Chains A and B, each alone.
Chain A
């Protein structure tokens, strides 16, 4: 009976215990808040890392010596026949340099520090089938923040959603020959000062065995039909969508209206969307690989990956960062535990005589040990519970809190433009909160055990002489 009673009395009578409680409160609260933000970050990044990626990506090197069919039709046909597949679409990807024929654009070519945009990833798609397989369509009217950081209402970024590559009304088709349209990333649009109807010139090189160097340069002018917002900085800053057939014509060097030559490059990857990704992803990936290989539609140079495998490095890096951050922040718990150690050590010294009295009255050493452990337990209980409540609340209310703090101090605490998040991502997982609270308890009790052990081993006679 005395252990609980006295531990509580000792705790209440020593104000210094509040420092220990506060330390645990701070450590638990900070850990929950930061891990929640990092988890939210991870979730958001997973979502935005998908960008226009589909569930399964089949990559095929377009210029290999393979006898694979050049046309994606048989691959798409086989995949669409599978009942697990919701949609499939072929892409043709190519790296280009974007210029506007002005001084700034030309500087890109001589920018040794690559401080300007160095290149553009030109992605040829089939707008008609793309909706079934990728996030292309939603990116054309996704809500976002404007340059002032205010949330914009969703707005359509192309002239015609049904036919996104149609020439925009701003384009005067009578000027020169008709040009193919492109849809550029929102950041490409802003960076190059483009508008709907603007002209851009794309330059690239393609393998050409007939040429002395083995390469031949290609250059063509396109008209901007609009822009898209994937929500992922990396994509919005370097991707330009184009009709797959037009890209193939550009790379083959034939005119926009001409038929494609037999040996031209038609596609470099096939994107597949599954009806139930979580359930089927792994099995379907294996099955598709086997079926396509048997049908002679892919060879060893091709790869089939789920979108998570495709973005493994990025997701892995953030997950790694979260774990590292957790480990580093756990040091706060160690510091809080050390505070408890210091306070309890002080208390044991101060209460030597009382420990002697308790022993004289019949308290065994184990009882004294438990008594001082209980003081650490109360510290941990109050600190961890308050910290868990405060940390969870802050994690759930981080956005309004951040805005209030930013307004109060006149500084922008979280720059939404950097990560292109509309709000600070934060996900509170009960398991993580429980793990942090348990960690705080373990840490406190380990640190409390040292002074408690010292108290239990005090010589009662020495303690009673301590007058």
Chain B
């Protein structure tokens, strides 16, 4: 195995600058970050430290000004838009703070959305039964067997986040990126969702990149990186 074979994600010298009028604002100052298969990495830091920006760069949603992001052994930001979209679809599962489910679709349809994007109409039709069964299984495992046909507006916050988690896991991506997944939930519901995230991560040997403000949550990760003013100022091992 090559040196990078064990890594799900390798970021090198990530710099992100924004133009603000005549001046330039540097948000990230050359960040290096590695994530191994099955590793749980928590990214902590005060508001405005650049956590979300880093997450977006690593999640292939925002172009870095400099630096490289290797995913699946490829420099993701040197790929074409189409190839990068495909990589994002197959390789990364996202869980957002505000769930971001499509209101027009029911729970099952929301969960199957990554497969709809990945496949042509014909392919999806051929695999439809398998997709439906998988989506129902996932939702049932997350305690939503009775909510399969409900639309997001008919679900509670915790239920929505569980649907969003099922969606993120649907194509079995090796990398799960969660941006404050419990930030919009009460303590008990947040705990429930976290348990599900960690359980899924463990069962599937996923690499988890978690942005959080919650120290207790960070402690459940194997490694915690502290980001301040656009630089990593400390790394500690967690208990997870």
Contacts and interface: CB of A to CB of B under 8 A. Distances in A.
Contacts of B56: 461
B83 to A, nearest CB: 9
Interface in B43-66: 56, 59, 61-62
B145 interface: no
Contacts of B117: 1-2, 358, 361-363, 367
Contacts of B86: 362, 364
B2 interface: no
Nearest to B91: A362
A9 interface: yes
Contacts of A464: 61, 96, 100
Interface string B89-103: 110001010101111
Contacts of A467: 98
A5 B105 CA distance: 10
Contact of A1 (B96, B98, B104, B124): B124
Q: For A2, A354, A360, A464, which residue has the most chain B Cβ atoms within 10 angstroms?
A: A360
Interface residues of B, number: 32
Interface size of A as a range: 20 to 34
Interface string A1-39: 110111001101100000000000000000000000000
Contact of A361 (B103, B114, B124): B114
Contacts of B90: 362
B57 to A, nearest CB: 10
A437 to B, nearest CB: 25
A362 B85 contact: yes
Interface in B193-222: none
Most chain-A Cβ atoms within 10 A of its Cβ — which of B81, B104, B120? B104
Nearest to B167: A361
A406 B85 CA distance: 62
Interface string B119-130: 111011100000
Contacts of B114: 361-362
A361 B94 contact: yes
B113 interface: yes
A1 B119 contact: yes
B155 interface: no
Contact of A357 (B81, B89, B102, B124): B102
Contacts of B236: none
A144 interface: no
Given A1-B121, A2-B113, A9-B105, A360 B81 contact: no
A55 to B, nearest CB: 59
A363 B116 CA distance: 10
6 contacts: A1-B117, A1-B119, A361-B94, A362-B88, A366-B82, A464-B61
Q: Which 8 A-B pairs have the closest CB atoms?
A: A362-B89, A364-B85, A2-B116, A1-B124, A9-B104, A357-B100, A1-B121, A1-B116
